[in-house]
């Protein structure tokens, strides 16, 4: 080791899903929405002025914050925005998890959580999900420095009803509880309504899934104004201009078309439910997903084997080589045509193997 290497921070990085660029591929590995964003987004892009590129964007992201406030019928002081929910969550880790006590998050969950904890020097513990991959609420009633969990969870896709979410918040009044709702639009009610009763709750969402804008990197948090102010203080100490003007304008445009948003979600949920039935008929088992993906396993065909066979056909799904889940595939819900192609391959593969 060279002398200068002794002063370098070393971490095990987050591993993103593959981003292949093949003309004939079916990409079902990163939970992107297969449908385009709302038509108003394209129109807003065409109408953007040259000044939008030449000048710095508004550091307060006022255009987008006000659009969020109008969309969700809440005061603008309750919103914080960032470059995707990953940026928002990283800022939340930096801001709220500043205790010597360990934060808590599940052993099977979004794999960025331990990366941020290690990067920022935050102690953490990982209570195990039960045998059905559900959060054990009682494991979160102990001394801790904060709590974070996705709802629906990832990669399992399981949604916890709001009564369970509220129980965890209610029993942890002295720490910040973050509910990461990247997939909630495909599942059930958001915990956003609970922010009116609990000043220690932060709810984080994204435009990447249900609003079809993963390429724009737009995320936001909702909480009481004091939490939002603390977040902004850290943001301004890190980078005042986190969001591009394009993201601000296009994100605001996306929020204006509620009818299109609801229709896209409905189509994806319908395709998900049909795919569940077809996979079950082929012998796959999976938690009852409330997300835009299915976390599936087959008792006769190893997940790694299926992953490789699908990849050879340019059908990309996600495989996690990790304890307890190394025989599962996470399959994003695409268009009905894409899912039909996936199912046709699986029928052929299983038929040949017998």
What is residue 245's three-state secondary structure? helix
- pLDDT tens-digit series, residues 54-92: 999 999 999 999 999 999 999 999 999 999 999 999 999
- As a whole number of angstroms, the distance between CA 96 and CA 309 comes to 44
Contact 159, 187 (CB under 8 A): yes
In this prediction, residue 7 carries a pLDDT of: 86
In this prediction, residue 42 carries a pLDDT of: 95
Bridge partner residues of 86 (DSSP): none
**Pairing of the two strands 147-150 and 177-180:** parallel
- As a whole number of angstroms, the distance between CA 95 and CA 81 comes to 14
Record the tokens describing residue 182, joined without a space.
Answer: 């990247």
Per-residue confidence at 338, pLDDT binned at 50, 70, 90?
very high
- 130-155: average pLDDT: 98
In this prediction, residue 22 carries a pLDDT of: 83
- As a whole number of angstroms, the distance between CA 1 and CA 318 comes to 35
- As a whole number of angstroms, the distance between CA 349 and CA 340 comes to 14
Per-residue confidence at 174, pLDDT binned at 50, 70, 90?
very high
- As a whole number of angstroms, the distance between CA 128 and CA 105 comes to 9
What is residue 63's three-state secondary structure? helix
Q: Phi, psi at residue 214, to the nearest 5°?
A: -60, -35
More confident: 22 or 62: 62
Nearest to 35 by CA among 353, 315, 292: 292
- As a whole number of angstroms, the distance between CA 251 and CA 61 comes to 11
What is residue 352's three-state secondary structure? helix
Per-residue confidence at 9, pLDDT binned at 50, 70, 90?
confident
Bridge partner residues of 331 (DSSP): 294
Confidence check: pLDDT of 233 > 70? yes
In this prediction, residue 354 carries a pLDDT of: 62
In this prediction, residue 2 carries a pLDDT of: 86
Mean pLDDT of the chain: 96
Among 65-69, 240-244, 345-349, which stretch is predicted with the lowest mean pLDDT?
A: 240-244
The pTM of the full predicted model, rounded to 2 decimals, is 0.95
Confidence check: pLDDT of 353 > 80? no
């Amino acid at each position: 080791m060279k002398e200068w290497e002794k002063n370098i921070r070393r971490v095990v990085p987050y591993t993103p899903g593959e981003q292949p660029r093949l003309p004939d591929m079916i990409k079902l590995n990163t939970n992107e929405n297969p449908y385009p964003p709302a038509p108003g987004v394209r129109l807003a892009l065409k109408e953007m002025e040259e000044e939008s590129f030449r000048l710095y964007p508004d550091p307060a992201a006022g255009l987008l914050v006000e659009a969020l406030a109008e969309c969700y019928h809440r005061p603008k002081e309750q919103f914080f925005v960032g470059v995707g929910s990953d940026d928002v969550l990283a800022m939340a880790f930096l801001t709220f998890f500043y205790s010597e006590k360990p934060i808590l998050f599940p052993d099977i969950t979004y794999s960025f959580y331990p990366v941020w904890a290690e990067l920022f020097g935050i102690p953490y513990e990982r209570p195990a999900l039960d045998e059905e991959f559900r959060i054990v609420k009682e494991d979160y009633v102990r001394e801790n420095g904060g709590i974070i969990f996705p709802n629906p969870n990832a990669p399992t896709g399981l949604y916890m009803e709001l009564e369970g979410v509220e129980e965890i918040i209610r029993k942890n009044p002295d720490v910040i509880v973050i509910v990461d709702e990247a997939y909630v639009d495909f599942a059930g009610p958001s915990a956003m309504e609970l922010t009116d009763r609990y000043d220690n709750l932060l709810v984080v969402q994204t435009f990447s899934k249900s609003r079809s804008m993963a390429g724009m990197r737009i995320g936001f948090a909702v909480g009481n104004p004091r939490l939002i102010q603390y977040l902004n203080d850290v943001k301004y100490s890190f980078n005042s201009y986190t969001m591009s003007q394009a993201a601000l304008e296009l994100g605001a445009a996306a929020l204006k078309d509620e009818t299109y948003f609801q229709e896209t979600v409905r189509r994806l949920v319908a395709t998900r439910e049909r795919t569940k039935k077809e996979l079950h008929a082929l012998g796959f088992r999976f938690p009852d997903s409330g997300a835009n993906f299915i976390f599936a396993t087959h008792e006769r065909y190893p997940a790694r084997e299926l992953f490789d066979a699908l990849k050879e056909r340019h059908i990309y799904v996600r495989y996690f080589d990790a304890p307890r889940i190394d025989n599962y595939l996470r399959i994003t819900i695409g268009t009905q045509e894409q899912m039909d192609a996936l199912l046709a391959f699986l029928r052929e593969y299983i038929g040949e193997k017998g």
